Amino acid sequence: MNASSQRRPHVCVLGAGIVGLAAAWQLRREGFEVTVVDRAQAGTGASAANGAQLSYAYVQPLADPGIWRQLPKLLFAADSPLKLRLQPDPHQWAWGLQFLAACRAGVSRRTTASLLALAAESRAGFERLMAEERIACDFSATGKLVLCADEASFAAARRQMALQRELGSPTQHALSPAECVAIEPALAGYAPRFAGAIHTPSECAADCHQVCLELLRLLLAQGVRFAFDTPVTRLTRSADRIVAADTPRGPIEADAFVVALGTASHPLARTLGLRVPVYPLKGYSLTLDVSEAPGAAPRVSVTDAARKVVFARLGSRLRVAGMAELVGENTHIPVDRIDSLVASAQALFPDARCSDDLRPWAGLRPATPTGLPVLGRLRGGPDNLWFNTGHGALGFTLAFGSAQRLAAQLRQSGL
């Protein structure tokens, strides 16, 4: 694969999750030759069984001033949905200190504004894909309810809603439990156990893995090349440029390279002396077959803010996902975490009659301390190396907007 033989600029995208595939889709739309490289298959990392919510309008970053009062539970409670297990890893310690430094009102506000702008671009990009191509992904646009357990958290959520409205977010409403049940009857049994909720009628959900597979199908038909089961061992640098991505199958040459490797972006960047502040934020999910009876399982997406658990309907399935653990590169699935998700599903939706086939999964969200993705070239880095990583729990939400910004940067570079 020699870049000099290409008539059009050749971009090598490292990573075939939703972020990498969306980038490949946008780059191909704009006339670039594209090769996608991944150590596994398409959509098998953090994209495989994530929370499925497309949170375009409610984007509160994890780095928030409210985290300070949660620290004792975060560090010491066995059943906390947020966990920190210190590792002998300087990168974890540095990331954690930067995260705490970002837990300030001003930083949270700026991050919220940036995420809302990127999410709006991403919504437009994904909607354009669905308008132009017939893709099967169990898409729905039934809105989202963010449930708040007590008056204090409900007041904080209303403040976040007011901030998002000020920043141009679509219409949202603060609702009583009874009003929530009117929108989502499946919450009737849980209504006495929460104080209120934020309703965003415009929010959506879809099967991220299916979107990845559909993008793979479309990209193959457009001549995009794929190298699966092909880890990138290093990037070969000559002066101010990357000349090849080295793999066990030989080097892959290109005019430009895009790193969309999720949590693997950090160690690859480190081989070049670059620092990408991305650390794994481990999460879990179940995918359950549920009853089709009216009012049994939710049609509206639901987030239980206290439990840090989300529920998204995917056709006849219910995706139950959540928790956030800073435990390093660890995808082991402890029984107690799955039991916790099952308990959450039974508490909120006792009439859903979920199947016994839980399909448990664990994935590593690539998180930055602030919640803002790393998008573009790095200071001191090669001129033809771009990063598109660090989207945390919003990878699916932000993928297509990030792809559009990335493609614009490549065009502006004169490539």
pLDDT tens digits, 1-43: 444 444 799 999 999 999 999 999 999 999 999 999 999 999 9
User: Cβ contacts of residue 322 below 8 Å, gap of 6+?
Assistant: 51, 81, 283, 284, 285, 304, 307, 308, 309, 310, 341, 344
Given a cut of 90, whether residue 231 has pLDDT beyond it is yes
Given a cut of 50, whether residue 215 has pLDDT beyond it is yes
Mean per-residue pLDDT, 248-258: 97
User: Cβ contacts of residue 130 below 8 Å, gap of 6+?
Assistant: 139
pLDDT tens digits, 154-200: 999 999 999 999 998 888 999 999 999 999 999 999 999 999 999 99
| pLDDT reported for residue 295 | 86
pLDDT tens digits, 319-331: 999 999 999 999 9
| pLDDT reported for residue 2 | 43
CA distance 279 to 285: 19
Element (H, E) at 309: strand 309-314
CA neighbours closer than 13 Å in the CB half-sphere of residue 42: 23
| pLDDT reported for residue 74 | 66
| pLDDT reported for residue 219 | 98
Q: ∠ CA(58), CA(61), CA(62), 5° rounding?
A: 125
| pLDDT reported for residue 355 | 74
